[in-house]
Structure 1
Amino acid sequence: MMEAAVLLGSFLLLILIGMPVAYALGVSALIGAWWIDIPLDAVMIAISSGVNKFSLLAIPFFVLAGAIMAEGGMARRLVAFANVLVGFIRGGLSLVNILASTFFGAISGSSMADTASVGSVLIPEMSKKGYPRDFATAVTVAGSVQAILIPPSHNAVIYSLAAGGTVSIAALFMAGVLPGLLMGLTLAVLCLITAKRRGFPKGEVIPMRQALRICADALWGLMTMVIILGGILSGVFTATESASVAVLWAFFVTMFIYRDYQWREIPKLVHRTVKTLAIVMILIGFAASFGYIMTLMQIPLKITTFLTTLSDNRYVILGMINLLLLVLGTLMDMAPLILILTPILLPVVKLIGVDPVHFGMIMMVNLGIGLITPPVGGVLFVGSAVGKLPIEQVVKALTPFFFALLLVLVAVTYIPALSLWLPGLVLGS
């Protein structure tokens, strides 16, 4: 136990004194290696091995494709398309917000990009149409959690990596479809109830000719989803290859079809993407070394033994894991938690008969809720900045949405078919 205390204690101490999570992982891995007297070269090899994986190439390509579409006018077109479908209902703009997040999440795979892009279009529009600004911001923030689940999710790729590559990325992508749609539907029902209770306005029906033009305009961007999923499911592309093709398609649509983006802005876009990816890759490499030291110290085995001695009931253990993930999700960002906790918790859930793909969805929903929960909710901060409101006001408006998301979490946790039916049907897994 002393070994675990040194590794985990040094990590927590470094976090508390303000060291970035990625570097705290790397330094604590070195401290742990020194404590158990293994060569520090082994830590360096673990870092190198952690980032030397072909499947990791999917992350930069998906991020770049999402960034191109986000800054190239796709969000505005998706909002207009969603408005054609549901904008005429009472409280329709809130439904437009949820639906636009569904579409955009299927292109960007990023909740932060979703919040920034959709929110910059819809929060001012909803406010202008008579919706409370805090409600508009809360809808945007809560709706963006769908991007964590709906493919292509960057975090699904990270989970596959953290699971040692034993969980198929394609299976995880398919597993996220129904939970993501359930989340969108649950939030939409809440918005409808709120609209009726608070008397939100109805939108106008879009004339047929204009509606067809809007749909045709949005179709180019929506084809990105078809390329990503169609390529993977047909066997034409791997997940990584489909991501690279998605970048080419996003570039073509943005620069030659929509033509809203300036050529001179492309180097700046690539620079911002590379900066983001550098942080992610450093995190992945250092997390690999941290996981390596944990394995040598047999920490996952000890935690598995501890949890199974508390109860042998699958539902009780999953409930405890949910509570743990919800608490930790409020204190740390999603990617490092996936990288740290997957090697620890996956043996536990396997022992009680939970499918690793199903557990991946449980983890995604839990940590997705953490992204919109203070004090470290990154998406919450972005939404607050876009909505130009204090965080306290946004959190208060988010309260009913938290309960809705918790209902989705319970459903995903205790109804495995939500996560496993589609992968089994499409991939036979």
Structure 2
Amino acid sequence: MAEILFPALFVLLALGVPVAFAMAISVFVALSFGSSYPSLVVVKEMFTGLDSFPLLAVPFFILAAEIMTGGAVTLAILRLAQSLVGHLKGGLGHANVLSSAMFAGISGSALADAAGPGSMMIKMMEKGGYDRPYAGALTMASAVVGPIIPPSITMIIYAMQDQHVSVGSLFMAGVLPGLLITGLVMAANARVSHLRGYVSGEAMPPLAEILRIAVYAVPALLLILLIVGGIRFGIFTPTEASVIAVFYALVVGMFVYRSLRIRDLPAIILRAALVAGAVLLILGAARAFAWVLIIEGLPQFLAQTIISWDLSPIVFLLAVNLLLLVFGLFMDPLPGVMILVPILAPISLALGIDPNHFAILVIVNLTFGLCTPPVGSLIFVVASTANLRPSALIREMPPFFLALAAALLLITFVPVLSTWLPGVSGF
């Protein structure tokens, strides 16, 4: 069936069929023409893939992010980022990157980062003298930390595929790599701003003003501490944490920032339901796709073949980087995790690679694919938000591709970036 499955998938993706439908249809075609299994298996496996208690965290985290991304919360984060770095050369660009890192602790999604504070920062940067395509490219590069800094939907899905890691350990493992990516993207912005003369016209605010802005933003930023701290100390499970995050977001939005009203909730719930439905549809289709690979014995065959090559851990990690970067050109992170992790994670464990280190490597690689052509979702989200052609964004990306590549190499060769915080946190 595999000889039918993969060509069908690639043809459908090339025709522009959405990923979820492309995977489900390719499984249906493979079963119809390459096996004796009934086509109903596709539906059965999709439902099996979604019949999971930990998976309930996905729609609740999405709903919490939708509630928290109201105007007051987003503006509070933007004002804090601008007060901290807005006075530097390329300050508005730095504020864009820093606000994305802060917002990542609320949304857990690269697309939400780009569509939320990112869209507002593009307008601010254009008014500040930056080229709009450059502002859009910077927004794309900074938004990739969304699934890396906790909470992260991708990490929840990964933990369901690999029993050697937990959601809590992955949340802790993603903090330092996320901050590393943020710092390197800011360094790239500083370099480009120096070459192009993007200067800040603002003076550094007084310390008292910075403190006042920081205090105003604290309720929004406390969400990440609530989630990670509660999971770390065993107060609640990740699924329970997602529900608590919804109630916390409601309290903050209605009683702290007072930007959320009861009449806003139906529209917020509808948006969250649409996003969650799309995510769960992708996960269900990926489950059916992975089932075909398993019954074909492909994961076991690949694992035995790669182990027989007697690769060193470093060579294996470099090969995985190359494989995932190519895979990420055509596939979103969530189906990538569901399809590839059951194949690659056992091999990495057999080679003595720390499971948290390997998990972050996989997640970072696949997340970078969101801003690479031809099907990078961030390209189209930012192009739509900023009213730009995708080609204009891609032309501005080389400095940020170099920054992201440097981050990936550091994460690969310095495992302590991914293992130290889970270790000291008791995971």
Question: Which category of TM-score, normalised to the shorter sequence, fits these structures?
Answer: over 0.9
Partner of 1:167: 165
Partner of 1:243: 242
The residue type paired with residue 186 of structure 2 is: A
The residue type paired with residue 100 of structure 1 is: S
Partner of 1:378: 377
The answer on whether the counterparts of 1:33 and 1:40 sit within 8 Å (CA) in structure 2 is yes
* 1:409 pairs with 2:415: no
* 1:201 pairs with 2:232: no
* 1:140 pairs with 2:139: yes
Shift of 1:177: 0.6
Partner of 2:333: 334
Shift of 1:152: 0.3
Shift of 1:151: 0.3
Cα distance between partner residues in 1 of 2:17 and 2:396: 32
The sequence identity of aligned pairs, in percent, is: 37
Partner of 2:211: 212
Shift of 1:379: 1.0
Q: Deviations over 1:291-347 (max 9, x none)?
A: 222112110112223334556222222222211211221212221222122222223
Partner of 2:417: 418
Structure 2 counterparts to residues 171-320 of structure 1, below 5 A: 171-202=169-200, 203-309=202-308, 312-320=311-319
SS of 1:146's partner is coil
SS of 2:186's partner is helix
Shift of 1:224: 1.0
Cα distance between partner residues in 1 of 2:71 and 2:261: 9
The residue type paired with residue 222 of structure 2 is: M
Shift of 1:38: 4.2
Partner of 1:398: 397
Shift of 1:209: 4.3
How has the CA–CA distance of structure 1 residues 29 and 120 changed in structure 2, closer, same or farther, with 3 Å as cutoff? closer
* 1:388 pairs with 2:387: yes
Q: Deviations over 1:11-60 (max 9, x none)?
A: 33443444432233334334545634346665554333311111111111
How has the CA–CA distance of structure 1 residues 388 and 9 changed in structure 2, closer, same or farther, with 3 Å as cutoff? closer
Cα distance between partner residues in 2 of 1:148 and 1:415: 20
The answer on whether the counterparts of 2:97 and 2:139 sit within 8 Å (CA) in structure 1 is yes
SS of 1:149's partner is coil
The answer on whether the counterparts of 2:101 and 2:146 sit within 8 Å (CA) in structure 1 is yes
Partner of 1:23: 21
Structure 2 counterparts to residues 100-139 of structure 1, below 5 A: 100-139=99-138
Cα distance between partner residues in 2 of 1:261 and 1:331: 38
* 1:155 pairs with 2:154: yes
CA-atom RMSD, angstroms? 2.1
The answer on whether the counterparts of 1:311 and 1:317 sit within 8 Å (CA) in structure 2 is no
The answer on whether the counterparts of 1:183 and 1:405 sit within 8 Å (CA) in structure 2 is yes
The answer on whether the counterparts of 2:100 and 2:118 sit within 8 Å (CA) in structure 1 is no
Cα distance between partner residues in 2 of 1:157 and 1:276: 16
Task: State the TM-score, normalizing by the size of structure 2.
Answer: 0.93
Cα distance between partner residues in 1 of 2:198 and 2:339: 44
The answer on whether the counterparts of 2:115 and 2:382 sit within 8 Å (CA) in structure 1 is yes
Unaligned runs of 5+ in 2: none
Q: Deviations over 1:207-239 (max 9, x none)?
A: 344333322211111111121111111211111
SS of 1:181's partner is helix
How has the CA–CA distance of structure 1 residues 120 and 290 changed in structure 2, closer, same or farther, with 3 Å as cutoff? closer
Shift of 1:71: 2.7
Question: How many residue pairs end up in the alignment?
Answer: 425
Partner of 1:62: 61
Cα distance between partner residues in 1 of 2:16 and 2:94: 40
SS of 1:260's partner is coil
Cα distance between partner residues in 1 of 2:418 and 2:319: 20
Q: Tell me which stretches of 4 or more aligned residues in structure 1 moved more than 6 Å.
A: none
How has the CA–CA distance of structure 1 residues 174 and 135 changed in structure 2, closer, same or farther, with 3 Å as cutoff? same
The residue type paired with residue 95 of structure 1 is: H
How has the CA–CA distance of structure 1 residues 182 and 327 changed in structure 2, closer, same or farther, with 3 Å as cutoff? same
Cα distance between partner residues in 2 of 1:39 and 1:406: 44
How has the CA–CA distance of structure 1 residues 29 and 347 changed in structure 2, closer, same or farther, with 3 Å as cutoff? farther
The answer on whether the counterparts of 2:82 and 2:95 sit within 8 Å (CA) in structure 1 is yes
Cα distance between partner residues in 2 of 1:379 and 1:238: 31
SS of 2:371's partner is coil
Cα distance between partner residues in 1 of 2:137 and 2:30: 42
SS of 1:276's partner is helix
Q: Deviations over 1:331-366 (max 9, x none)?
A: 122212221222222233223222332221111111
